[in-house]
């Protein structure tokens, strides 16, 4: 039996890519506000990774949120805001090797609220996880160099 080109391509895709072939992650976004983080399906968990929200296999009800920090730079206001959220929700912060920020131990009932808070201040989690473009790593002294020209 011969496979069609679509069937052959589909058989080569991993599970995450099969979900993305069915529905683009950005199209999944319209349902984000109505998600029940306490009863997510497998597909929800795959799509949420594109929003920087994920769990581990052994802690399915405890979430991690990864913030995108372009060139590793935050304003003092943004940094203070992140610190306030960490304190308010009793989260653990991890600074990544690529200048990103991960917040660990988010509870299911708080994920959407925390996500909205960050977005209201111009911070984003979009495409900070998975097979997406990574941030460009830059010299932290670049702003200092540019001011002395």
Q: What SS3 string covers 40-97?
A: CCHHHHHHHHCCCEEEECCEEEEEEEEEECHHHCCCHHHHHHHHHHHHHHCCEEEECC
Q: Give the CATH number of the domain where residue 28 resides.
A: 3.90.480.20
Cβ neighbours of residue 65 under 8 Å, at least 6 residues apart?
A: 52, 53, 102, 103, 106, 111, 114, 115, 118, 125
- Could you report the per-residue pLDDT of 130-141, keeping only the tens digit for each? 666 665 555 656
- Could you report the per-residue pLDDT of 5-35, keeping only the tens digit for each? 455 556 788 887 888 888 887 787 777 778 8
| CA-only gyration radius of the chain, Å | 18
Could you list the residue range(s) of the whole structural domain that residue 118 is in? 5-129+136-147
Note the pLDDT of residue 88. 96
Domain count for the chain, please give it: 1
Note the pLDDT of residue 97. 75
- Could you report the per-residue pLDDT of 38-64, keeping only the tens digit for each? 888 888 888 888 888 888 665 667 888
Compare 99 and 120 and report the one with higher pLDDT: 120
């Amino acid at each position: 039996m011969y496979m069609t080109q679509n069937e052959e391509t589909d058989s080569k895709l991993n599970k995450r890519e099969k979900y993305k072939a069915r529905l683009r992650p950005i199209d999944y976004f319209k349902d984000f506000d109505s998600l029940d983080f306490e009863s997510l399906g497998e597909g929800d968990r795959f799509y949420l990774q594109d929003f920087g929200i994920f769990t581990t296999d052994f802690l399915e009800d405890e979430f991690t949120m990864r913030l995108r920090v372009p060139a590793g730079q935050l304003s003092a206001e943004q940094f203070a805001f992140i610190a306030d959220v960490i304190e308010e929700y009793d989260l653990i912060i991890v600074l990544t090797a690529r200048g990103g920020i991960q917040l660990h131990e988010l509870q299911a009932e708080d994920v959407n609220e925390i996500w909205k808070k960050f977005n209201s201040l111009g911070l984003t989690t979009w495409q900070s996880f998975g097979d997406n473009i990574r941030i460009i790593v830059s010299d932290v002294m670049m702003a200092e160099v540019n001011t002395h020209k």
